[in-house]
Structure 1
């Protein structure tokens, strides 16, 4: 763990990573060192914190079904287990970004 990591919270490190560029929950998990399921929990809070802060926006490119292209999931900050349209389990991860 670097000095920077020890001085910041997991949510701060996730937010910093998203300010550096877009990332999926799996990519954030690898870079921050927490499980993918934990990343999704932290993202909910990061989205609330960032909203309106210094003119920043929390942006989400929603998950998309690899089979039929469905991308109108109810909650794009969660990873769906299957597509509600075609029931396929092949879902592309959402991509998150702060700008």
Structure 2
């Protein structure tokens, strides 16, 4: 039986996923589901680094004005440029260094 983090690693090695997609794939629901996945991704970033791999981050982007956020392990709530809450979540993938 694989742990949740092992499942996330396996998924991220195959292709990129957003936080919401990972929560859906792992059937994690509720108010804190994104935080659970983000905490896991932060831990996974350290694990894969020790294995000689890297966590690739496609940054979040505002769907209204196109503002591109810094590539971080977090989901922004509002665009600093236009104040829109219509944000495309960042996407994560595990790759080779």
Structure with bigger helix share is 1
Aligned residues: 91
Pick from 77, 80, 84 the counterpart of residue 76 of structure 2.
80
Which structure has greater strand proportion?
2
Any stretches of 5+ residues in structure 2 without a counterpart? Answer: none
Q: TM-score, normalised by structure 1?
A: 0.83
Q: Which residue of the other structure, out of 13, 16, 32, is the alignment partner of 1:22?
A: 16
Flag structure 1 segments of 5+ consecutive residues without an equivalent.
Answer: 1-6
Using the TM superposition, give the Cα deviation of residue 97 of structure 1 relative to its aligned residue in structure 2, in angstroms: 0.2
Name the counterpart of 2:3: 9
**Which residue of structure 2 aligns with residue 4 of structure 1?**
none
Would you identify which runs of 4 or more consecutive aligned residues in structure 1 move more than 4 Å? none
RMSD (Å) for aligned C-alpha atoms: 1.4
